[in-house]
Each structure stands twice: as structure tokens, then as C-alpha cells.
């Protein structure tokens, strides 16, 4: 297992996803963010089943930066209860992981 993570969130506007993504990379809380979409989401919210178009953001970062990255995402996030979840990067190419380490100093 490595010290690196992928952090996922979704947003309802591509411009918000780009704004928060750029800010997190500029602050070196993420080495990069991939923005995919629109995607279709079906979820339960306040007792009703809802459907929405969203943009999925995948941030590449370090486990030790998760709290700051979460705070940064939450601060600019338009949702009342945003999905902000982390998955470990168990392994990867040496060159990529070295680049990720260099771009996200703790």
C-alpha cells in the first residue's frame, strides 16, 4: 500500500468542478484532478428518489493531506451534504507515484 489516495466528489456544474479542482491543485493539496461528465446520478435525498446530471471529480493526493483537501472541497462545494470519499492507491508505476509525491509536499 502507498501513502497516496484518490478523493471523489460530484458537483452539479462543470464550472464549479473546474474552479475547485484548479484551486486544490494550485494549493498543492492535489497533484491533479480529473473531471468526468456529465454523469447520471440516482440517489435518495430527504425521503425522495432524485435524479441529476453531475460532474465527477477525482483528486490525486496523499493520505496525510486528506483533511485539508476535504476542507478545501467542502468550502467551495454547492451541496448541503457533499460526497467526499477517499480510496487508497494500493500500487502504481514508480514514475507516476514519484511525480505525485513531488507535486503534493506535506
Chain segment 41-81, per-residue pLDDT in tens: 999 999 999 999 999 999 999 999 999 999 999 999 999 99
- The DSSP secondary-structure symbol of 41 reads E
pLDDT above 90 (res 106): no
Number of domains in the chain: 1
Tell me, what CATH number does 91's domain have? Answer: 3.30.70.120
pLDDT above 90 (res 1): no
pTM of the predicted model, to two decimals?
0.96
Stated length of the chain: 106
Residues 6+ apart with CB under 8 A from 36: 55, 56, 58
Where in the sequence is the domain holding 36, given as residue range(s)?
4-103
* Beta bridge pairs of residue 60: 6, 32
Amino acid at each position: 500500500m502507498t501513502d497516496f489516495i484518490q478523493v471523489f466528489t460530484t458537483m452539479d456544474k462543470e464550472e464549479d468542478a473546474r474552479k475547485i479542482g484548479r484551486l486544490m491543485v494550485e494549493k498543492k493539496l492535489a497533484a491533479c484532478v480529473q473531471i468526468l461528465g456529465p454523469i447520471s446520478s440516482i440517489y435518495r435525498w430527504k425521503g425522495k428518489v432524485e435524479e441529476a446530471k453531475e460532474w465527477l471529480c477525482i483528486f490525486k493526493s496523499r493520505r496525510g493531506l486528506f483533511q485539508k483537501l476535504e476542507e478545501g472541497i467542502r468550502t467551495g462545494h454547492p451541496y448541503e451534504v457533499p460526497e467526499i470519499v477517499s480510496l487508497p492507491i494500493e500500487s502504481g508505476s514508480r514514475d507516476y507515484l514519484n511525480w505525485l509525491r513531488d507535486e503534493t509536499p506535506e
